[in-house]
Amino acid sequence: MSCHQRSASLPSIPHSTESKVDVELQGLKGCISSPSVTVDTMHDGLRRLRDIYVCIEEVMSLPSNQVGLSLPLQRKMVEEELDRSLVLVDLCNAMQENLAELKMSMQELQLALKRGDDASIQLKIESFVRLTKKVQKPFKKITASKATGEDCRMVRLLAEAREMAIFLLESASRVLPKQIEVTNGSRWSLVSKRFHKRRVVCEEARLQVLERSMADLENGIESLFRRLIQSRVSLLNILSS
């Protein structure tokens, strides 16, 4: 499947659905592990992951799975996975906040470019670079946590989707500095010491394209966040029924 194609609809047959989710997760990992990934690739990956969560919810709703949760061991594993998923919810929040800061910084840089103020441009570039590094900080605090036991199919799917979501968000945080062409930690390759009208217009256009890509990424993370919350609500309802 192409990295820029939407996931195909998954069948409702239990075992086929689970197998298809496994295939989709593996395909998604291969896509976002490519050295040629961009912010747009990550946005597409978020859409695909959101669709995978929709299918996992279909597995949750199967009577056999809901009955299975009455077993103490499976119930305990689901509760543990609910706790682990809070890390992903927090990551989505942090990424949205950091992307909002980056967009504001980018807008300030565009204004500095229009004014042609060299000193201000350099300061805005340095601020922008610092913010790109800030996006990666939340991932340094994460420790690996995988669900144990293959007895509960639902927990296995949720755990694999959670791990994929963390991997995708972390990959996006690494792609951002490359996408904006940061070099040597404090310089930006798009900006030269000598400015002239044509170059400034070109730089502004590239910044606007990147700004739109980042807005798409932010919207994708927000959509995934809402799906995660819905998934948690569905699980809690099953446990309380």
pLDDT digits (tens, 9 = 90+) for 163-186: 999 999 998 888 877 776 543 334
Residue 75 has pLDDT above 70, yes or no: yes
Nearest-angstrom CA–CA distance, 210 and 180: 8
Q: Please indicate whether residue 13 or residue 207 has the higher confidence score (pLDDT).
A: 207
pLDDT of res. 2: 43
**Nearest in space to 158 (alpha carbons), one of 59, 14, 225:** 59
Q: Please indicate whether residue 150 or residue 240 has the higher confidence score (pLDDT).
A: 240
pLDDT of res. 180: 63
Residue 78 has pLDDT above 80, yes or no: yes
Query: Mean of the per-residue pLDDT values for the chain?
Result: 78
Question: Confidence class of residue 86 from pLDDT cuts 50, 70 and 90?
Answer: very high
pLDDT of res. 151: 56
Instruction: Tell the burial category of 174 from Cβ atoms under 10 Å away from its Cβ (0-12, 13-18, 19+).
Output: middle
What separation in angstroms does the CA of 127 have from each of 22, 133, 229? 41, 10, 33
The percentage of residues in the chain with a pLDDT greater than 90, rounded to a whole number, is 24
Cβ neighbours of residue 182 under 8 Å, at least 6 residues apart? 129, 132, 188, 189
Question: Confidence class of residue 154 from pLDDT cuts 50, 70 and 90?
Answer: confident
Q: Please indicate whether residue 40 or residue 116 has the higher confidence score (pLDDT).
A: 40
pLDDT of res. 196: 52
Length of the chain: 241
β-partners of residue 183 are 187
Residue 224 has pLDDT above 90, yes or no: yes
Cut 0.85: pTM above it: no
Average pLDDT over residues 14-37: 83
pLDDT of res. 222: 95
pLDDT of res. 8: 43
Q: Where are the alpha helices (DSSP H) in the chain?
A: 14-32, 39-60, 63-68, 72-115, 118-136, 153-179, 197-240
The least confident of 63-67, 187-191, 219-223 is: 187-191
